[in-house]
Amino acid sequence: MIEKILQKEQLNRDDIVSLLELADFSPVYQAADRVRAEYVGDVVHLRAIIEFSNVCKRQCKYCGLNRENKSLPRFRMRHEEILETAAQAVKAGYRTIVLQSGEDDYFTAKRLGEIISAIKKLPNPPAVTISCGERSRADFAYFKTKGADRYLLKHETADAALYDRLHPCGTLRERVDCLKTICGLGYETGSGFMVGLPGQTLETIAADLLLLKEIPCQMAGIGPFIANPKTLLAGERNGDPELTRRAVAIARLLLPEANLPLTTALSVLSQEDENRSRKASERIRADGPGNVNESKASRPVGQGSGKKSARLEGNRKGKSIQGSAAGQQAGEAGNESEAKTSGRQTDVSKAKRADASRWESAGKLANCDCVKKAGLRLGEDCTPITDDGGNGAPMENPFSFGANVVMKKVTPDQYKAAYEIYPAEFKKTDIFADRQELEQLIKRFHRIPE
């Protein structure tokens, strides 16, 4: 069945759902990696992200930047600060600057156009990607005249009803129209979605992937939902990193030439899984291998203790992937999700279980955000963790499921923590040192940083 699906020239929704719910997904990962090697090669593109404003007029229920979050200190970087940060990133070797913000009306087309134009005048001018939400066609066209090369606007979910429940400030139709306008203007167009939203089903994910192809997108950011305690979805379970990687792999099959990044959200949750495995390994060392409780030491990916990490809980009709309604604060975004959504679930735990014993010789994790961002498992000397204590091939290549881009925050420290779409911790920014470290890590996985 898998071979027949993978041999098809065009995958449909049922094909994608069938792949997503496989007990053993490894043939699909292998196919995605072959497609990646054939179409985009071994180069990993490094992008520098400048988050220049966390002011946002929208009310997206999952996002910490939404205008209803009164506890978040708001900031806007000055023109000079943005340009200086971009100049440092270019000197460090970055060839793309990503300008990202909330939907902030202060940054008019003229103001943002001046920033784009100034960056394009730097020595060794980089490509410029804009990620500033929905704008008018006139604005998109103006940014293009000022030198913008790419525009990233995630559609977040292709389920119109779910989109409406999570976005009281807009519609899916408006979002898709913006994306098609961007594409029509000649931008390299990027979109993407979250895996594990309350009310999402495998059919929804399949529709998300097919929408990327329909637009069509040259970039796609796919990451797990992470519940922000300062939003209406506080307390919801996080998206499953394994299911997210599966979605990225299928995206590679659908969009062979696309740029597919390792998202920060995926790395944050992967890091939580690693920390749980490390703690399980510590229990093994303390109690002896004979005393390990399998249910604790070998939890399925996405089934941690403590936090409500998302998991797929069976193969039942009529349930969302999360399988739970949102808390009372989430209102209709959660309460209607179980009643109105239909689709299949699957138990991804059969495909990948955390093997606690592999941490026996691992040492401490390197606690740096570029490592988390790349989803790398490292020992205390920053070497990839391996089966034989660090001297052999890496245990797990974070680029093996089709990704070929790493996005690196270069936002100045005084602003970085306040750009809180979801909770995350990052070390102090050192643009040059972080770039060099990331290049070395990528090379250890037999990829070429660019």
| Range of weakest confidence among 58-72, 197-211, 359-373 | 359-373
Give the pLDDT confidence score for residue 413 in this predicted structure: 95
pLDDT tens-digit readout, 422-449 = 888 778 999 999 999 999 999 999 999 9
Give the pLDDT confidence score for residue 273 in this predicted structure: 56
pLDDT (average), residues 60-74: 96
**302 vs 272: which has the higher pLDDT:** 272
d(CA 217, CA 108): 26
Find which of 298-302, 349-353, 377-381 is predicted with most confidence, using mean pLDDT.
349-353
Give the pLDDT confidence score for residue 266 in this predicted structure: 63
The set of residues, in sequence order, having a beta carbon less than 8 Å from that of 151 and lying 6+ positions away, is 129, 130, 131, 140, 143, 182, 187, 188, 189, 190
Nearest to 79 by CA among 55, 113, 49, 48: 113
pLDDT tens-digit readout, 144-159 = 999 999 999 999 999 9
| Range of weakest confidence among 112-126, 188-202, 282-296 | 282-296
pLDDT at 83 > cutoff 70 = yes
Burial of 70 (0-12, 13-18, 19+ CB in 10 A): exposed
Burial of 46 (0-12, 13-18, 19+ CB in 10 A): buried
pLDDT tens-digit readout, 94-107 = 999 999 999 999 99
pLDDT tens-digit readout, 127-142 = 999 999 999 999 999 9
pLDDT tens-digit readout, 237-290 = 999 999 999 999 999 999 999 999 987 666 655 655 555 544 443 443 444 433
> What are the structural domains of the chain?
2-265+402-425 (3.20.20.70)
pLDDT at 371 > cutoff 70 = no
d(CA 271, CA 371): 9
Residue 210 CB neighbour total at 10 angstroms: 17
Please say whether the beta carbons of 403 and 433 come within 8 A.
Answer: no
pLDDT at 341 > cutoff 50 = no
Q: Cα 44 to the chain's mean position, in Å?
A: 16
